Amino acid sequence: MRRPFKSLQTCVSKTVVVAIFVSLLTFGAYEISVYRSSHRRIYHPVQIVEDTHASAVRSTDAPEDFVEPLPYDLRYYVAQDDVFRNADDSAVKEVRESPEYFEVLGDIDGQNFYVAYPKFIQSGAPGVSINIFCHGSGQTVGNTFDDEYVEVLRKYGKYFADRGAVFVASNMHGDNYGSDKGMSDMYKLESWVRSKSLPSGFNYSDVTGVIGFSMGGLPALKYPLYIYEQKQKDSERRDIAKDFKIALLAPVINRTFWSQDRVEIIKPYGVAIWHGDRDVNVGLSDTKSAVQVFGWYGKDVDLHVVSGATHWDVDDELIPEVFQFLYSSE
């Protein structure tokens, strides 16, 4: 009577051994696959770098047009010394300055914000670009530089500002789920940055980058629709972006929201998604369904499937890849 049990035990043991062996073979490596509507793979493998606090995904093969920090002989000074130290600007609460950029904490209409603003722009750049980050649920922008989530934003801020780009994030009324209030906060913050003067001959770029993580995918994708409505109200406004590139990380999308008319508004803009295949917070299957819906309406979206990654492996571990997408010519 014990033989079946022993056989089962032996089978289970062998299965466990095989599973462990396979895990050891694959440990230490993620792979990103990118799909368009046809699910054609077009990306490159990445390697997981072990860290005592978190695992970080980084490219082993950086694309040829990968942007490094600005070399000293190819840049122009663009940030005025007093651009964020104006006593009349009540939005500014605290400013930190490094050799390469300013960091600002402030408040617009009761919503905290973080801004990283470069001191230099690369020679020949079309303008000073602004990139807006939309946070996930349960994440808030604090009012001190020691705030846990502000420290996460500072990773983005340093990377972007070192390369001549502005990075901003508003608290956006917390868990906004793409509400008009949240997008209004984005708009107010972008307009506030665009109001900061630049030296003669320099302008802010017409292209705004938008990054959305988790719940932040909702306002990130809907922001061009919000701006479209603002343009309809006042076509002469100069503080409104004319173009967008949208990077989404394990996003909530709500595919039922998107109709042909709404997709038509975002159709001209580049959209890319990074999503882990082990995400149990926001299912990869939901994202694939949303990409399919966009395809039905004629909108191409690049879906980067990160093998072995969970929800929290893509929130701030793919900054170089996101930056490269936002500043690629595609």
pLDDT tens, residue by residue, 138-182 = 999 999 999 999 999 999 999 999 988 999 999 999 899 889 999
Residue 97: the pLDDT is: 87
pLDDT tens, residue by residue, 274-302 = 999 999 999 999 999 999 999 999 999 99
Whether the per-residue pLDDT at 183 is higher than 80: the answer is yes
Provide mean pLDDT across the span 182-200. Answer: 88
Residue 239: the pLDDT is: 58
Residue 201: the pLDDT is: 73
Provide mean pLDDT across the span 206-215. Answer: 95
SS3 30: strand
User: Hey, what domains does the chain have and what are their CATH numbers?
Assistant: 29-326 (3.40.50.1820)
Provide mean pLDDT across the span 193-220. Answer: 89
Q: Which of 54-63, 120-129, 237-246, 280-289 has the highest mean pLDDT?
A: 280-289
Cα–Cα distance between 78 and 83 in angstroms, integer? 10
Q: Which pair of tokens denotes residue 293?
A: 């819906």
Whether the per-residue pLDDT at 41 is higher than 50: the answer is no
- The angle subtended at Cα 154 by Cα 310 and Cα 99, nearest 5°, is 145
pTM beyond 0.85, yes or no:
no
| Confidence band of 196 (pLDDT split at 50, 70, 90) | confident
Write the DSSP assignment of 108-160 as a string of letters: ETTEEEEEEEESEEETT-SSEEEEEEE--TT----SSTTSHHHHHHHHHHHHH
Whether the per-residue pLDDT at 65 is higher than 50: the answer is no
Higher-confidence position of 279 and 40: 279
| Confidence band of 236 (pLDDT split at 50, 70, 90) | low
β pairing state of 101-108 and 92-97: antiparallel
Higher-confidence position of 232 and 205: 205
Whether the per-residue pLDDT at 128 is higher than 90: the answer is no
Residue 242: the pLDDT is: 77
The size of the chain, in residues, is 330
Higher-confidence position of 47 and 79: 79
Whether the per-residue pLDDT at 37 is higher than 80: the answer is no
| Confidence band of 198 (pLDDT split at 50, 70, 90) | confident
Q: Please give the single-letter amino acid code of residue 79.
A: A
Whether the per-residue pLDDT at 24 is higher than 70: the answer is no
